Amino acid sequence: MIRVALDAMGGDKGVHEVVCGAAMLSVSPRPVQVLLVGDPDAINGVLVDQKYDPRWIQIVPASGTVSMGDNPRQALLKNPNCSINVAARLVRDGQADALVSAGHTGATILAAADCFQRLPGIRRTALAAVYPTEQRHGPKGDPFALMLDVGATVGSTAEDLVAFGVMGSAYAKIISDNPSPRVALLSNGTEPNKGTPSIVAAHERLTQLSSVNFVGNVEGLDIPKGTVDVIVCDGFLGNVVLKMLEGVSEVFSDLAADAYARKFLWRLGLTMLSQGLRQLKSMTDWKQYGGAPVLGFDHVVIKAHGRSNARAIRNAIKVAAKAVDRDLCEQIRVGMAGGST
Amino acid sequence: MIRVALDAMGGDKGVHEVVCGAAMLSVSPRPVQVLLVGDPDAINGVLVDQKYDPRWIQIVPASGTVSMGDNPRQALLKNPNCSINVAARLVRDGQADALVSAGHTGATILAAADCFQRLPGIRRTALAAVYPTEQRHGPKGDPFALMLDVGATVGSTAEDLVAFGVMGSAYAKIISDNPSPRVALLSNGTEPNKGTPSIVAAHERLTQLSSVNFVGNVEGLDIPKGTVDVIVCDGFLGNVVLKMLEGVSEVFSDLAADAYARKFLWRLGLTMLSQGLRQLKSMTDWKQYGGAPVLGFDHVVIKAHGRSNARAIRNAIKVAAKAVDRDLCEQIRVGMAGGST
């Protein structure tokens, strides 16, 4: 039985949405054992009004949480029994199999780094983002692609980029049931000699690596199109690109709202288009895809978006359980050793 | 009188659109003297069917052009009398004041580098892109911002980024009549310590530079929003970002076309919204803003988009003439010396 340690106190919307996500999953056809880590009173205060199956939910007490404004390193040191620390230790000590948090991203990664080991050959872990694209991916026709690293760490080496490729490929295989995800490096041209020295060197090594279906370089144009399944880049570039996608989404929402408010004819047109616009909105609103994996540790870590609602939390727990079930960490280990995963 | 040397043979649409752009401007209320450089037969073949004022158009013969598939360095060496080489020499020799081309970007920059000097303190020239944003800019409420470098050159130093800030500021002042354009560095966080070592060092220097209204770092989110007037970044990042904007624009066009084709109700809705969609289209279709300056040379160089139509070419010539009239190169020189431009 797979058990997921969930930081119940993280997330912009507070304990309510997180606990509701766990409750929702407990009464679904395929529940997952969830350890809700946080203030028992607050958790019970939410659960009392929810439909849930108590056999699938266990409360583990913790005191306090890391707030968005906190310095994560200082906050974790100051409060060893805050919810993310306790949740990470549950996984380290074998009482849970995966860590899920909608809280402070930096604190989640630091707590994981304190408790877990990096897999062999992984110098730097990566935060991967799942984002919607025009083209579909894998045999299930998933409407989203994977990009990593988006964790804002600067200065990836060629080795780091190769490892990101291996990790992204392993994750896409498991989550999208895609036997051979197409992996590409993000660069300023498709030719092998385009990009920074790290990118050029990573290109050469990925070409020789049998465990990854490396298809070469892609350009900025290919990000929204979704030409490939996994895009590999430095964390600085990934951060700028991901925030820009978020910005584009917000601008389009603003413009649609403006059109709706301004003219009756436009309002009528928007109403007629509502079904099509929902599709567009789901494409631009990448926030709905709650779970972003932190890859490279010897345990599964899923960072749900801070703005996750109950449904997104439920999805993040399901994704974590699936990654454990399919042995993500072992797949990455094999891939790093050069074998076919 | 300002004279613009225009490569008549460049551009994806061939000689027709380029020559029509010059013809269109010659009969406008404020014409500019244009030297059309290229095959006289081809140029005259277009002019014969156009309304134009021959007093404002002069044909300068050249043989051949650099094609998109050519290696630009080899093509320029092989054919010293190709249109872009002849046009650049006209400017070098004082027969024209500015160079405009819709042809091969690399060839345009190389021909300029062969004929012109870099301004004092400029180690690397920059290609700047004008792109549409949600927010308006300057006293005229321009709907576009400036980003540089987007020229795909890798590895800008802190000095390069500072120079890009000075050059972008000078250009925005002149083109948008904006007395104090807000200039920012693109990074992975707003704090001064965020980003690559070059960005952190450039941040410190720009803060101390009186000639630039430096407002700090912006993030990916701020690119489509248009929070600032001039965004400074490394050419690699700028290239990825700009191509991604182009990709987003294409994806939205595809989705709209798909909605139009699929359902009568959606078609009706789109028709009702057509006026609003034109606004949206003009926002995402950055290609309509024909002229991108190449900054850092001692002469004005404007690179029009390869897909420019006659109107975009006309605008690029006007922009070049305005930059000469307001003495762009001198403004950059003063800005680099630390003075207020």
Element (H, E) at A114: helix A105-115
Can you read off the two tokens belonging to residue B332? 């950059």
Residue of B nearest to A218 (CA): B240
Which of A220, A224, A275 has its CB closest to that of B251?
Answer: A224
CATH of B1-122+296-341, one of 3.40.718.10, 3.30.70.270, 3.30.830.10, 3.40.50.1010: 3.40.718.10
Angle at B125 between CA B124 and CA B128, to 5 degrees: 135
Residue of B nearest to A187 (CA): B240
Which of B187, B266, B276 has its CB closest to that of A276?
Answer: B266
A294-338 pLDDT, tens per residue?
999 999 999 998 888 898 899 999 999 999 999 999 999 999 987
- Predicted confidence at residue B285, as pLDDT, reads 54
Burial class (CB in 10 A: 0-12, 13-18, 19+), A291: buried
- Inform me whether the pLDDT recorded for A277 exceeds 70: no
How many CB atoms sit inside 10 A of residue A337's CB? 12
Confidence class of residue B136 from pLDDT cuts 50, 70 and 90? confident
Residue of B nearest to A150 (CA): B188
**Which amino acid belongs to residue B9?**
M
Q: What does the DSSP 8-state code read for residue A144?
A: E
The shortest C-alpha distance from A154 to chain B (Å) reads 6
Confidence class of residue B44 from pLDDT cuts 50, 70 and 90? very high
Mean pLDDT, chain B, whole residue set? 89
Q: Which residues of B touch A283 (CB under 8 A)?
A: 251, 255
- The CA distance from B155 to B188, in Å, is 17
- The CA distance from B275 to A265, in Å, is 10
Q: Which residues of B touch A72 (CB under 8 A)?
A: none
Greater pLDDT, B177 or A61? A61
The shortest C-alpha distance from A126 to chain B (Å) reads 15
Q: Which pTM was predicted?
A: 0.86
A162-220 pLDDT, tens per residue?
999 999 999 999 988 899 999 999 999 999 999 999 999 999 999 999 999 999 999 99
Residue of A nearest to B190 (CA): A240
Residue A54, SS3 per DSSP: helix
**B47 near B19, Cβ under 8 Å?**
yes
Averaged over B20-44, what is the pLDDT?
97
Of chain A, the percentage scoring pLDDT greater than 70 comes to 88
Residue of A nearest to B277 (CA): A259
With an 8 Å Cβ cutoff, are B239 and A259 in contact? no
- Inform me whether the pLDDT recorded for A143 exceeds 60: yes
- The CA distance from B65 to B82, in Å, is 5
Averaged over A6-14, what is the pLDDT?
89
- The CA distance from A164 to A237, in Å, is 14
Assigned CATH topology for domain A1-122+296-330: Isopropylmalate Dehydrogenase (3.40.718)
With an 8 Å Cβ cutoff, are B269 and A265 in contact? no
Confidence class of residue B280 from pLDDT cuts 50, 70 and 90? low
- Predicted confidence at residue B12, as pLDDT, reads 82
- Predicted confidence at residue A256, as pLDDT, reads 66
For B129-140, letters b (16+ CB in 10 Å) and e give bbbbbbeebbee
Burial class (CB in 10 A: 0-12, 13-18, 19+), B269: buried
Can you read off the two tokens belonging to residue A319? 């994704």
Residue of B nearest to A252 (CA): B280
B196: which residues sit within 8 A by CB, 6+ positions away?
A: A154, A155, A236, B234
The shortest C-alpha distance from B325 to chain A (Å) reads 34
Greater pLDDT, B11 or A320? A320
B266: which residues sit within 8 A by CB, 6+ positions away?
A: A272, A273, A275, A276, B259, B260
- The CA distance from A321 to A315, in Å, is 10
Interface test with B, best of A127, A187, A188 (most B CBs within 10 A): A188
With an 8 Å Cβ cutoff, are A188 and B254 in contact? no
A94: which residues sit within 8 A by CB, 6+ positions away?
A: none
Of chain B, the percentage scoring pLDDT greater than 70 comes to 88
Confidence class of residue B231 from pLDDT cuts 50, 70 and 90? very high
Element (H, E) at A129: strand A126-137
Interface test with B, best of A198, A232, A248 (most B CBs within 10 A): A248
CA distance to A159, A232, B144, per residue, from A164 (Å): 9, 6, 36
CA distance to A37, A203, B71, per residue, from A182 (Å): 37, 14, 30
With an 8 Å Cβ cutoff, are A220 and B247 in contact? yes
Q: Which residues of B touch A270 (CB under 8 A)?
A: 269, 273
What are residue B230's phi and psi, to 5 degrees?
Answer: -135, 120
Nearest to A177 by CA among A212, A141, A213, A228: A141
The shortest C-alpha distance from B22 to chain A (Å) reads 31
Count interface pairs A-B at CB distance under 8 A: 154
* In chain A, domain spans: 1-122+296-330, 127-288
- Inform me whether the pLDDT recorded for A285 exceeds 60: no
ipTM of predicted assembly, 2 dp: 0.82
Q: What does the DSSP 8-state code read for residue A186?
A: E
- The CA distance from B281 to B76, in Å, is 37
The shortest C-alpha distance from B165 to chain A (Å) reads 19
Residue A292, SS3 per DSSP: strand
Strand partners, A177: none
- Predicted confidence at residue A57, as pLDDT, reads 97
Which of B237, B247, B279 has its CB closest to that of A221?
Answer: B247
- Inform me whether the pLDDT recorded for A74 exceeds 50: yes
Nearest to B186 by CA among B153, B213, B222, B137: B222
Assigned CATH topology for domain A127-288: Isopropylmalate Dehydrogenase (3.40.718)
Nearest to B60 by CA among B112, B3, B107: B3
- Predicted confidence at residue B341, as pLDDT, reads 46
Helix segments in chain B, DSSP class H:
15-26, 40-47, 72-78, 83-92, 105-115, 158-175, 197-208, 222-225, 235-262, 264-272, 274-284, 310-325, 328-336
Which of A188, A223, A246 has its CB closest to that of B247?
Answer: A223
How many CB atoms sit inside 10 A of residue B324's CB? 20
With an 8 Å Cβ cutoff, are A246 and B220 in contact? yes
